[in-house]
Amino acid sequence: MHEPKAGLIVNADDFGYYPWVNEGILQLASAGTVTAAGVLANGVDLPFWLARLRRETQADVGVHLNLTSGRPLTAALAARLAARGGEFPGIAGLAGLVLRGGLSLALIRQEWRAQIETVRAGGEIRFLNSHQHIHMWPPLFGLSLELAREFKAPHVRVSQAGPLLPANLAGCLRGGALQALAWLNGREALGGQSPLLGLNQSGRLDAAYLRRLLPRLRPGRVYELMCHPGLAAEAEVPPRIAAYHAWAREFELLRGPEFAALLREQGVELTYFRESIR
């Protein structure tokens, strides 16, 4: 009788962010190394890229809910943000709007429903998560669960720090805040969620982290590894975004032999949301 293995869903965030991010995710998903991809519904040329993702790969497709990057899909929210040029305000600006009551839950619900419908137009959606983890904010977590039920998306990411400590103070502060939100929101969470890995190394996933992480996974349990792979940037990226991402390094790690060897050594097998959540 075979001993059960730990299962790992490798979930690439930010599909739709930049063309070189999309292309990197597509290559890894086609190779079966990335098994899920979270889609930014307001990405440039999204119908083209989303059709390729569904046609060329077996990856589970989900929605990377967004209120901080690019332009909204709904006219009502764009009008509300007219003073900001109709653009999402970034995470600090969003926090200010929400705290001042300047952005209603009704407007956010309308926008997120439009984002989900855009991605769902090409086929099933398997999960919801969000750009910069904003769905963890009360009451946005409750809204994400409501929309998951409405659109029959069986997994909503619960962003939490995982078993390894962050590498720096900023990571500790972010991880601590998300851990507190996970505790607050956990009572509402859908059942059967896969524990999240990679938050403490977000944007900077490397082999050293995986060597420490994979031995901690329990046989018979399924985990979600958050990652941000892509090809090397083909155009200038704003410094605040570039500082947070090592797209090409993550791409090389996930397509290279060391990742496959680590999985074999630790008895971990790649899997999908559709296989682990019925």
CATH number at residue 235: 3.20.20.370
Cβ atoms of residues 225 and 11 within 8 Å: yes
- Supply the pLDDT for residue 188: 53
| Number of continuous H segments (helices) and E segments (strands) in the chain | 12, 8
For residue 12, being part of any structural domain is answered with yes
- Supply the pLDDT for residue 190: 46
Closest Cα to residue 144, out of 115, 109, 178? 109
Domain span at residue 176?
6-276
Q: How far apart are CA 149 and CA 154, in angstroms?
A: 7
Say how many domains are in the chain.
Answer: 1
CA 51 to chain centre: 19
For residue 1, being part of any structural domain is answered with no
- Supply the pLDDT for residue 126: 96
pLDDT classification of 162: cutoffs 50, 70, 90? low
- Please determine, for residue 132, whether its predicted confidence score (pLDDT) is greater than 60: yes
CA 67 to chain centre: 14
Tell me the three state secondary structure of residue 88.
coil
Tell me the three state secondary structure of residue 197.
strand
For residue 93, being part of any structural domain is answered with yes
- Supply the pLDDT for residue 1: 47
For residue 241, being part of any structural domain is answered with yes
Query: Token pair for residue 67?
Result: 């209120």
Query: What is the SS3 string spanning the chain?
Result: CCCCCEEEEEEEEEECCCHHHHHHHHHHHHCCCCCEEEECCCCCCHHHHHHHHHHHCCCEEEEEECCCCCCCCCHHHHHHCHHHCCCCCHHHHHHHHHHCCCCCHHHHHHHHHHHHHHHHCCCCCCEEEEHHHHHHCCCHHHHHHHHHHHCCCCEECCCCCCCCCCCCHHHHHHHHHHHHHHHHHHCCCCCCCCCEECHHHCCCCCHHHHHHHHHHCCCCCEEEEEECCCCCCCCCCCHHHHCCCCHHHHHHHHHCHHHHHHHHHHCEEECCHHHHCC
- Supply the pLDDT for residue 269: 96
- Supply the pLDDT for residue 172: 57
What residues are paired with 60 via a beta bridge?
Answer: 36
For residue 193, being part of any structural domain is answered with yes
For residue 180, being part of any structural domain is answered with yes
* pTM to 2 decimal places: 0.91
